[in-house]
Amino acid sequence: MTIGVLQSSLFGDMFGTAAMREAFGEPAFLARCAEVEAALARAQARLGIVPADAAAAISKAAEVVVAEPDSLDLARLKRETETVGYPILPLVRQLAERAGDGGRWLHWGATTQDIMDTAVVLQIRAGLDLLQADLDAARSHLAGLAGRYRDTPMAGRTHLQHALPVTFGYKAAVWLSACDRHAERLAQLRPRVLTVQFGGAAGTLASLGSGERALASTTELARELGLAEPAITWHVARDAIVETVQSLALIAGTFGKIAFDVMLMSATEFGEAAEPFVAGRGSSSTMPQKRNPISCELILAGAKALRQQAGLVLDSMVADFERATGPWHVEWIAVPEAFGYAAGVLHQSAFMLGGLIVDPARMEKNLGMSHGLIVAEAVMMGLAPHIGRNEAHDVVYDACRAAIDNDRPLYDVLLEHKEVVEPLGEDRLRALTDPANYLGAAQAMVDRVLAGR
């Protein structure tokens, strides 16, 4: 029986993914901890701190746990963890028993947080790889949409009302530009967060000597695990972990915005876009005609849930002295859940964008709903050189009011204004009241976004 949706047999694959559960699940955490302990033993064996045969025995014992975490006595591990407060000492005891005489060299010079932090960093590395794959897929779909609909006019809306014409390709390119920045953020984040943690009891490695001799264990451990070596212990400097979760929240926020737009566009009154059709998906239990935007709803919910983890993990930054008395523990909650929700958001987004149904005809119909009022600015700017901007504004404003009051096309109303028709002519006026002719630099911006990838 589960409490949260990420581990739920019903909702787990809607709010998260199996791959991310595998990367951040309890078996994976125990496996990564065992990996770190074995890597530490091998690193110290190369330095002559730990006997080579002990390192080999420890590595062999750890390999079994990595391959089969369930081979541990989990009931004992649970019981001892509840007593100690942390799982590392109970895990070390079981690994040491399996390593025989070599087990006495296990965990040499390390402290619990060294092992747990480094294990989480390994999980983060795997998690970032999974997220990057779905982010790249979503970006590819957005690039396709931006190029395909580069010249497809639609109503641009501000405050939920028609503002000026845009193209759907422009809208998709705006979405894409944010996602491209997220890809940059993840790349820039990696060197800061994929860093080994090894400092010992107070972070000074005092039990291993002084100076370069003590630091050598950190250097070799980092090499074993393929992680960067920090200049100094980061037991209570949690900014890289916190930055990671904030980055995930930013990504989810962008896809939440995309989902919100698509969901509104799929409303009956708009009908401009729809999620991919899958028989039965989004069905109502009472209304057979319904096709609810399920992926968009899940993306929005996941983004909101992830945002809570981003706020929570900020509390871990305010840590006391050289080892926190509790703030660190919130990371145990926030980091796995953040990655879980981020995986769900990106997975649903890649699916939704990969099969997004776009209706250019409906976009054109909606664009014409205001009978040309959406390009009133175009008429004003076209008329301004002839009669002055302020006068042009007043003339077009009056024409707009008449068009609205009498439900007439703006073009027809303007034809009745001699001060408009005489300087512009009917052909020029018709061109100015065509939304497709007032797209500004929208298409050029699409080209710049696509060219910059």
323 is catalytic: yes
CA distances for 386 relative to 375, 392, 419, angstroms: 18, 8, 9
End-to-end CA distance of the chain: 45
Exactly one of 104, 323, 362, 428 is catalytic; name it: 323
CB-based burial, 238-249: b 16+ in 10 Å, e otherwise: bebbbbbbbbbb
Are 119 and 73 a contacting pair, CB within 8 Å? no
Residue with tokens 């707009």: 400
In whole angstroms, what is the distance from residue 284 CA to residue 343 CA? 26
Q: Tell me the angle at which helices 112-148 and 26-46 cross, rounded to the nearest 10 degrees.
A: 120
| 247 carries an active-site annotation | no
Is the distance from CB of 88 to CB of 77 less than 8 angstroms?
no
Q: Is 4 helix (H, G, I), strand (E, B) or coil?
A: coil
| DSSP for 220-279, written as a single string | HHHHHHT-BPPSS--TT--HHHHHHHHHHHHHHHHHHHHHHHHHHHTSTTT-SEEPPP-T
273-274 and 357-358 strand pairing: antiparallel
Instruction: Check 71, 207, 210, 284 and give the catalytic one.
Output: 284
Q: Which residues are catalytic?
A: 284, 323
